[in-house]
Amino acid sequence: MDHRSSRNILICLALVGSTASAAEVEPPTPPQCVKYDRLNYVGSESPFPSNCESIAPELGGLRGALYDAGWNAQLLLTTGITYDLKGHDRETQVYSGQRPSSTSTGSLLLNHDLERYGLPRGSLFTLGGSLAYSTYRGDGLRQGYLSQLSARIPFYDGRLIVQFGYYGLAGQFYGTLLGNNIAASTLGPSSGLLAQTGVQGFKPSPALDIRFYSKDKRYYNHFGVARSISPDGLFADADDNRSGLQPFTKDARAVFVNEVGYRVEAGPDQRKIWLRGGAVYNTTKYARLDQPGQKSPNYGAYLVADVQLTQPDAGLPFKGWYVNLYFNQGRKDVNYLPSAFGGSIYRLAPFDSRPYDLFAFGVSKNQYSGWARQNASLAGLDHADASTNVSISYAYRVSRGIYLQSALIYTDNPTFAPRRESSLNAYATLVLVF
């Protein structure tokens, strides 16, 4: 069983169990909905919640019928709004929130059990679709598309996992959200290193990734290869791949990612720790900032750590304070934001009465390339040297399957050139899980 599946089961048992301690009562019988998690997609580092933590765990009997036929459905809907409280909406909009900006997304995953065809336990076929709309078209979000068409097959008791098909490779690496799942998360590492180096996240591309685990499954090596994002950016990539199934896009070549790490989930007498480092190499030719007219491959590297500092409740071991730290470095003569570092301190179950909420406070700094700054100066543009973000965020569990994510984000340089006044964006998103 995948480590995230076992964690979901623990959370479900806590949701339906007694408030008495484990020493006072018999362990509760797992609810019916726990078994459906066996057919949940677990490849992404931002997983969906357990089926037990959805608005309708049984879907009126439909989920049980689907499960008997070897299928399960995971649906997540979000709608949010962001606005710069400093009132910069009189100018032409160049960043999200400068004017009131709303974004809505829908993500559906249909998973099919491949064990019934003789493949190893845990083998899944996944078909996914996404719909995204934003009132600010400059953020790169474009209409709906097929988001995933892939198979995930574990071997040797899960020590080797192979995934292949069409999907966004960026979601399989790094871990950019804080929290147990995508619904109950807050702002995490803010650098766009994977996107800058061409690792696809918004739309699927032909991809293959392979995970190798040690015998105790604590140490791992994760390798992936996929078709890069277009070197002309997200808009060009979206225009050239409207269906999501285009195998090739103009001038985009192969991008490779490799991550090594050590990971242990929170458990009895065991605090969570996840240490990882990765490197990206993109064979696609990118325009150079230091030599106009010349092009070169792109690359970058990252280090990220999540460590649980406290564990106040042995019955719910995921509760407590955590720290996240990260450092990214990309190619300075190709990327506009080659260097980034930051950290967050966050709390799972910040109050005894709110055991499934999440609070976080974070600081990050993204440094602009010296070559980009020099080019801006030569063009007579006032430019920023770096951009610093300070954020405070809270994920509030309204009820089962309903979350409200909110944040306040201060940014000292929301744009590179021309330089603009600092922004203070208020952000709120409603998340529904089915």
Spell out the domains of the chain, with CATH numbers in brackets.
3-433 (2.40.160.180)
pLDDT tens for each residue of 34-70 = 999 999 998 898 888 899 999 999 999 999 999 999 9
How high is the pLDDT of residue 1?
A: 47
Residues 6+ apart with CB under 8 A from 261: 219, 220, 222, 274, 275, 276, 277
Under the banding of pLDDT at 50, 70 and 90, the label for residue 88 is confident
3-state secondary structure of 429: strand
Instruction: Name residues whose C-beta falls within 8 Å of residue 239's C-beta, 6 or more positions apart in sequence.
Output: none
**The pLDDT of residue 109:** 95
Read off the pLDDT band of 13 (50, 70, 90): very low
Write down the pLDDT at residue 99.
Answer: 83
pLDDT above 90 coverage of the chain, percent: 63
Burial class, 278, CB count within 10 angstroms (exposed 0-12 / middle 13-18 / buried 19+): buried
